[in-house]
Amino acid sequence: MTVIEIIAAVLIGGGVLLGVVSAIGLNRFDGVLMRIHAASKPQVLGLILVFAGASLAARSWSLAAFLLVVLLAQMLTVPVSSVMVGRAAFRRGFVRGRDYAVDELSPRLAEAGDEDDD
């Protein structure tokens, strides 16, 4: 094995480990907000590591460019989907009051004339 293959294996192994930690967090955490955090943060970092390792192992610039596009799409959509799931959980009453420090959404939801569609 070359040095590049060893580095690629370590990166892929680290990414897989973060994916496993994310899955364990989804099963073990209690609240919605903690589960959202466990689903989004380690998953994106794990994906970065796996894609970096795969690019190194393949030694292909075209594959690296394609994986970079996929990674950028993930980095744009995962935070947005996390926020939307959090907002939906808040509006349905699944988020307990002690889970957050600042509540900026409740006063806006109480206003009848609010044109915003949140």
Q: What backbone torsions phi and psi does residue 112 show, to the nearest 5 degrees?
A: -75, -30
Segment 7-36, tens digit of pLDDT: 999 999 999 999 999 999 989 988 888 888
Kindly report whether the global pTM for this prediction surpasses the value 0.85: no
Q: Report the alpha-carbon distance of residue 8 to residue 10 in Å, rounded.
A: 5
Segment 32-76, tens digit of pLDDT: 888 888 888 888 899 999 999 999 999 989 999 999 999 999 999
Question: Which of 57, 28, 25, 30 is CA-nearest to residue 42?
Answer: 25
Domain boundaries, the chain: 3-110
